[in-house]
Structures are given as structure tokens and as C-alpha cells.
């Protein structure tokens, strides 16, 4: 059995297990914020993993995540809340419109004679600003009045609001991860990595660079928009200020860099850690310290673990797993945390610490299991 088949089976198992979570939580009479915690994590996983398909795979640094997210939010907002479309019909339109937005941007910037990473990054930043003013200006979009999403009817089979959010965010995050994985393990994905390493050389060896960059940008925008489409429900009252701000692009970058851009899983990992951290800090009433702590942690981690913590932990997965299981065990048995989320949080922090322990010796032959991590670490993030 190839490793790809194994991974695909893994995807299937995870899908089935996670799908049961809301039902289990309900039947255990556990606090429903577990479900909220998880679906918010799914949101961030999907946003960062899709961002990484563009920036991690092809090396084109994007500040545009907020734009794709915003197109998605406003599409379901306008279609479902203002025009009464069935939500599940409006949702795919959100993804498609954002994807088309990405392709349109690509048609412009990837066709320029003089191309550069800087021009691309600045253009993506500008897109969100432009969209924000357009939304503010035209009343068929927003016109400065905002859109109420509360009361948008959802099909009964999705369950109550939380369960429905869980199911929808889960499906989108799952599809994003699956796409990222399939690309990572394919000819197209490798063509993208070659573009990241040296675009002109890749082009000369036969990689259709324009097509692949369009594909990466389109995929990124599509999933960003699709998840944005779901998220309008969670926002409740959609305003331009809440949607087109720097929060989404910034967090997506932080999460991905922390988790690592060199592997499809890296950003998902970073997303869970940073989201858990902000969530716990908020619930401990430390909102004000939030940014300081996250910023500080990020600086330390990025300096200490350049390839991102995912590859680092993978290279030493045995000690990492042991620490995690042990920590969860100790915390639950001695009842140290006030809830399972806190237990999970402390265990994760300790596990991340495993990534920080420096290697005793740089192995000089690549036959070591750390070779992938090393290969990934010899270049700074794009």
C-alpha cells in the first residue's frame, strides 16, 4: 500500500470520527463550547491551509486572504440573508465568486512583464482595500448598513446552529486539507514547489508556470471564500469593518509561519495552536495581553524553529506524542485544568516545547529521518 493510499484512508477515518463529535458532546451533556471551539479551529485551519497552497507551495506571498474571505462572507450575506436564497445554494456561489476574484487578480499580476514577489504581495494587500470601499459604496452589497445574518434558515438535517456550523466548517476544512494533500503528493504540486524554488528554471524545464500560479491562487481564493461563506452566519451582523480588516490575513500568516510552510499539514497545526492560545487567553480575561504573548511566542518559535514546528515535531514524533499523551493523562487524572480544553491546551504547549529542544547534533547524512525537515530548513520562508 502506498503512503498516499494510507494517508487517504487516514483522511476517511478522521472524517468519520470528527463527524460524530457534536452528537457525542450532546449525548455526554458536555458544554457546547467544545463544539464552538472546534468549528472555529476548522475555520482557521481552512483559511491557513488554503493560503499555504498559494504562498507555501508557489512562494508568492499573499496578504489577500481577507479579500477572499470577505467575498465569501458578503456573497452568502447578500444571497441568503438579503435575497432569501437557500443557504446551501448560496454557499458554493461564495466559493466560486472568490475563486473567480483570485483568477482575475492572477490574470492581471501574473501577466505583467516585470513580475516580482513584492509587486504581488502589495497587489494582494490592495485588493482587500478596494473591495472594502466597493462594499461600503454600493447599497446592493452593504452601503454602510451591514447585513443581519441571524435568522437565516438552515436545512433541518444539519441540526441545531452549533451542530450545523460544525458540520459545514468541517466539510470545508476537510476539503481544503484534502486538496492541499493531493496537490502536495502530485506532479502539479511539485511543479509549484519548483516555481517557489526558482521560477525561471522551472519554466525552462517544462513547468507551465502561469497555469500553476493561477491554479494555486484560484484554489486559495476558492476555499477562503467558501469558508467565508459559512462564517457569515457566525459573524451574525456583517459589517465592512469586521470583514475587510487585517485580522484574517495576519492570523493566517502567523499560523502558517508558525506551523511551517513547507508541508501541507504545517499551517493546520499552527492554526490550532494559535487559535487555542488566543481562545484561552481570552477566556482567562487576558485579551489585552493576547497580541503581546502571541507576537513574542511567534518570534521565539520562528527564530528557533525555522522550518515550522510541524516538520520539527514530525521528525521527533515519538517524544512529542509521549509528552502529549502524558500531559493529557496527568492533567485529567489530577484534575488540574478546569475543562478538557484547558487540558488540551496545556498538553499542546508542552508538546510544542518539544519542538524547541535543539538537536544535539546535525546529522551529516540525509539517511536520517530528519532529512525532510533539514531539506526544508535550508531555506528561509519566502
Residues that bind other proteins (CB under 8 A): 2, 185-187, 190-191, 193-194, 196-198, 200-210, 262, 365-367, 371, 374-376, 378-379
| Residue placing its CB nearer to other proteins in the complex, 203 or 316 | 203
Beta-bridged to residue 238, according to DSSP, are 147
Backbone angles phi, psi at 308, to 5 degrees: 90, 155
User: Please, what is the minimum distance in Å from the beta carbon of residue 355 to other proteins?
Assistant: 20
The candidate with the shortest Cα–Cα distance to 265, out of 156, 185, 345, is 185
| Residue placing its CB nearer to other proteins in the complex, 248 or 265 | 265
Torsional sign, CA 154, 165, 255, 179? negative
| Residue placing its CB nearer to other proteins in the complex, 41 or 373 | 373
User: Please, what is the minimum distance in Å from the beta carbon of residue 221 to other proteins?
Assistant: 24
Cα separation, 337 vs 331, in Å, equals: 6
CA angle 274, 279, 281 (to 5 degrees): 95
Three-class secondary structure of residue 152 per DSSP: coil
Which distant-in-sequence residues (6+ apart) come within 8 Å of 293 by Cβ?
277, 281, 286
| Residue placing its CB nearer to other proteins in the complex, 161 or 190 | 190
User: Please, what is the minimum distance in Å from the beta carbon of residue 203 to other proteins?
Assistant: 4
Cα separation, 219 vs 96, in Å, equals: 10
Q: How many angstroms from the chain centroid is the CA of residue 88?
A: 22
- The DSSP secondary structure of 16-73, one letter per residue, reads HHHHTHHHHHHHTT--THHHHHHHHHHHHHHHHHHHHHHHHHH------HHHHHHHHH
User: Please, what is the minimum distance in Å from the beta carbon of residue 352 to other proteins?
Assistant: 24
User: Please, what is the minimum distance in Å from the beta carbon of residue 210 to other proteins?
Assistant: 8
User: Please, what is the minimum distance in Å from the beta carbon of residue 361 to other proteins?
Assistant: 15
List, in sequence order, every beta strand (DSSP E) within the chain.
147-148, 237-238
DSSP state of 81: I
| Residue placing its CB nearer to other proteins in the complex, 55 or 348 | 55
| Residue placing its CB nearer to other proteins in the complex, 78 or 257 | 257
How far CA 156 is from CA of 25, 153, 166, 231, in Å, comes to 19, 9, 14, 18
| Residue placing its CB nearer to other proteins in the complex, 167 or 306 | 306
User: Please, what is the minimum distance in Å from the beta carbon of residue 376 to other proteins?
Assistant: 6
User: Please, what is the minimum distance in Å from the beta carbon of residue 194 to other proteins?
Assistant: 5
| Residue placing its CB nearer to other proteins in the complex, 27 or 365 | 365
Three-class secondary structure of residue 260 per DSSP: coil
User: Please, what is the minimum distance in Å from the beta carbon of residue 205 to other proteins?
Assistant: 5
| Residue placing its CB nearer to other proteins in the complex, 188 or 350 | 188
Cα separation, 70 vs 89, in Å, equals: 18
Amino acid at each position: 500500500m502506498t503512503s498516499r493510499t494510507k494517508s487517504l484512508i487516514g483522511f476517511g477515518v478522521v472524517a468519520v470520527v470528527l463527524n460524530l463529535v457534536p452528537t457525542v458532546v450532546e449525548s455526554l451533556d458536555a458544554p457546547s463550547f467544545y463544539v464552538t471551539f472546534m468549528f472555529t479551529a476548522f475555520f482557521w485551519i481552512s483559511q491557513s491551509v488554503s493560503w499555504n497552497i498559494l504562498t507555501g507551495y508557489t512562494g508568492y506571498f499573499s496578504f489577500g486572504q481577507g479579500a477572499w474571505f470577505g467575498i465569501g462572507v458578503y456573497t452568502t450575506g447578500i444571497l441568503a440573508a438579503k435575497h432569501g436564497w437557500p443557504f446551501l445554494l448560496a454557499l458554493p456561489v461564495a466559493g466560486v465568486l472568490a475563486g473567480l476574484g483570485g483568477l482575475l487578480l492572477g490574470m492581471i499580476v501574473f501577466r505583467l512583464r516585470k513580475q516580482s514577489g513584492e509587486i504581488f504581495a502589495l497587489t494582494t494587500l490592495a485588493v482587500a482595500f478596494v473591495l472594502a470601499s466597493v462594499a461600503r459604496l454600493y447599497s446592493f452589497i452593504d452601503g454602510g448598513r451591514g447585513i443581519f445574518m441571524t435568522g437565516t434558515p438552515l436545512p433541518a438535517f444539519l441540526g441545531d446552529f452549533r451542530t450545523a456550523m460544525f458540520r459545514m466548517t468541517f466539510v470545508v476544512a476537510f476539503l481544503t486539507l484534502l486538496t492541499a494533500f493531493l496537490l502536495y503528493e502530485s506532479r502539479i504540486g511539485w511543479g509549484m514547489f519548483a516555481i517557489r524554488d526558482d521560477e525561471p528554471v522551472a519554466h525552462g524545464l517544462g513547468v507551465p508556470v502561469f497555469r500553476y500560479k493561477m491554479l494555486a491562487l484560484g484554489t486559495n481564493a476558492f476555499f477562503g471564500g467558501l469558508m467565508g461563506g459559512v462564517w457569515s452566519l457566525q459573524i451574525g451582523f456583517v459589517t465592512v469593518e469586521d470583514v475587510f480588516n487585517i485580522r484574517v490575513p495576519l492570523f493566517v500568516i502567523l499560523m502558517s509561519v508558525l506551523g511551517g510552510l513547507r508541508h501541507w499539514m504545517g499551517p493546520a497545526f499552527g492554526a490550532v495552536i494559535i487559535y487555542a492560545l488566543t481562545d484561552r487567553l481570552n477566556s482567562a480575561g487576558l485579551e489585552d495581553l493576547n497580541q503581546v504573548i502571541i507576537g513574542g511566542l511567534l518570534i521565539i518559535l520562528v527564530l528557533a524553529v525555522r522550518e515550522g514546528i510541524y516538520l520539527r515535531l514530525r521528525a521527533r514524533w515519538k517524544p512529542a506524542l509521549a509528552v502529549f499523551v502524558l500531559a493529557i493523562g496527568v492533567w485529567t487524572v489530577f484534575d488540574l485544568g478546569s475543562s478538557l480544553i484547558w487540558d488540551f491546551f496545556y498538553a499542546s504547549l508542552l508538546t510544542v516545547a518539544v519542538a524547541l529542544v535543539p538537536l544535539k547534533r546535525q546529522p551529516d547524512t540525509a539517511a536520517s529521518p530528519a532529512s525532510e525537515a533539514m531539506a526544508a530548513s535550508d531555506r528561509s520562508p519566502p
